[in-house]
Structure 1
Amino acid sequence: MTQTKRPRRSPAGGYARGDETRQRIIDAAIRLFGEHGFDGASTRDIATAAGVNAPALQYYFESKEGLYRACAEYITNDLRARYAPSMKRISDALKDDAGIDALVDAYLGIQATTLDSVLVPPHLSKGRLVGRELAGESPNVASEMLQRRIKRPINKLLLALLARIMHTRPDDAITRIRMLTLKGLMMAFYYPPGACLDLLGWKEIDAGRSALIKAAIQEQTRTLLMSWHKAGGSPREGGKA
């Protein structure tokens, strides 16, 4: 995809109005790309949802591809800002040689941020857009951006944190396997959109149900982390991955 360019606009009040319109288009596009995928979301439908005429999309983003990349940039920047406090909390806990309770709480903090991203509107539509990419239904733009700018730095921190909790090393196979196990606790609620609703017997996940899911997952995570801490590094085969 081509890089997104921001065309020139009129000065003074035009900038504020233009930025508000641009953001409104991005918000509508994230929702429709998440619901229908890149090919299924038409520029006409996005313009209608944003309350603008179709030429406005070309004015701000040049093309549908440019709009999609702008959505990916927005999602990535938003997630970086929301993960920053919990990432700092982990870094501080590791530097301060914190006790087990503080270490577990640090892990639960970053997990809570992830769960909010998956479960809570309007973050849900952002997760759906990324989910479409992971399912091969949209170009891998947001997922690659997130992998490079957010997931790799977070994974490095989480491996160090889990290694401290479990008395292992970050590069041990068991450390990585257990990190994937914890991530798996959330995947049933992530993609495909709404796949968990039938089993739950729900039509939607509202704020109360989101809180219920979050509490259940975090309770299970705490139980696993404390169990792994007591067990040390076992079971482990082969050491390094």
Structure 2
Amino acid sequence: MARTPHATQSRSEVTRAALIQAATEAFARAGFDAVSTRDIAAAAEVHPALIGYHFGGKEGLYLAVFEHIAATVEQRIGPALDQIEQMLASRGGKNDAAVRAMASLGKLCDAMVAMLADPGSGPWAALIMREQQAPTAAFDLVYERFMRRVLATMTQLVRTADPTRDALEARLTVVALLGQMVVFRVARAGVMRHLEWRSVGPEEQAQMQAMIRRHLAAILGQPSTA
């Protein structure tokens, strides 16, 4: 029975997705150099030649993994960023600008904590951490796709919430805030043991978000929205 183009395309998409998933886990676990295309193909249960067919080789697959990571992050926090950028571009009253900026920062931090608390974020968070230590073209990709936008938006919100801060101080504030959120993922084993948590469910996530909001208020000298 002849295959229809639609069926062929669907199978192709399934194969690509399986390879990206297997590669994400393998690269996160062992790093780019230690993983072979045969290992990835075996984990995805496909022929190794399909990596070359779909991605042009190991390097192309590695970049495709980061394209997928960027798309996932954009899907998770993109809507919040869109709303914040619209708010910042509007000509709202200056008197409540700081209040609106604080509320927006709180919502964005909530979204980021939720994303980092998700068990599925483990492999791609590990990959991004690897790229932070030894940047390649993959780091350029994720920085331009979402990191630059997140950092710029948070910096603008910080300066709106506290106009006394200059550009550098606002950027440093954002870096410190991000560190408080990222630690829940990159130091997960130590965090879980210290907090005596067995898992992170809705209650634990809410506690994390509330703490970040309180720290945010303390740093910026604004009332807490927690």
TM-score bracket, shorter-length normalisation: 0.7 to 0.9
**Whole-angstrom CA distance in 2 between matches of 1:192 and 1:144:** 24
Between 54-63 and 156-165, report the one with greater CA deviation: 54-63
Q: After the TM superposition, which residues 114-133 of structure 1 pair with which residues of structure 2 at under 5 Å, given as runs? A: 114-133=112-131
1:90-116 residue CA offsets vs partner (Å, 9 max, x unmatched): 223222436244321211222223223
**Whole-angstrom CA distance in 2 between matches of 1:211 and 1:29:** 32
Question: 1:195: Cα distance to partner?
Answer: 4.9
Q: After the TM superposition, which residues 64-79 of structure 1 pair with which residues of structure 2 at under 5 Å, given as runs? A: 64-79=58-73
Larger helix share, 1 or 2: 2
Normalised to the residue count of structure 1, the TM-score between the two structures is: 0.76
Distance 1:191 1:40, change over 3 A: farther
Distance 1:147 1:210, change over 3 A: same
Counterpart of 1:144 in structure 2 is 140
Normalised to the residue count of structure 2, the TM-score between the two structures is: 0.81
Which runs of no fewer than 5 residues in structure 1 stay unpaired?
A: 1-9, 231-241
Residue 213 of structure 2 is aligned to residue 215 of structure 1: no
Which residue among 188, 196, 213 is the counterpart of 2:183?
Answer: 188
Which runs of no fewer than 5 residues in structure 2 stay unpaired?
A: none
Distance 1:196 1:48, change over 3 A: farther
Between 77-86 and 187-196, report the one with greater CA deviation: 187-196
Q: Which amino acid aligns with 1:105?
A: A
Between 21-30 and 41-50, report the one with greater CA deviation: 41-50
Q: CA RMSD in A?
A: 2.7
Q: After the TM superposition, which residues 16-165 of structure 1 pair with which residues of structure 2 at under 5 Å, given as runs? A: 16-94=10-88, 95-97=90-92, 99=96, 100-136=98-134, 140-165=136-161
1:17-64 residue CA offsets vs partner (Å, 9 max, x unmatched): 111110121112112211221123332332232222322222212211
The question of whether the paired residues in 1 share the 8 Å contact of 2:67 and 2:142 is answered with no
Which residue among 224, 231, 237 is the counterpart of 2:219?
Answer: 224
What percentage of residue pairs aligned between the two structures are identical? Answer: 26
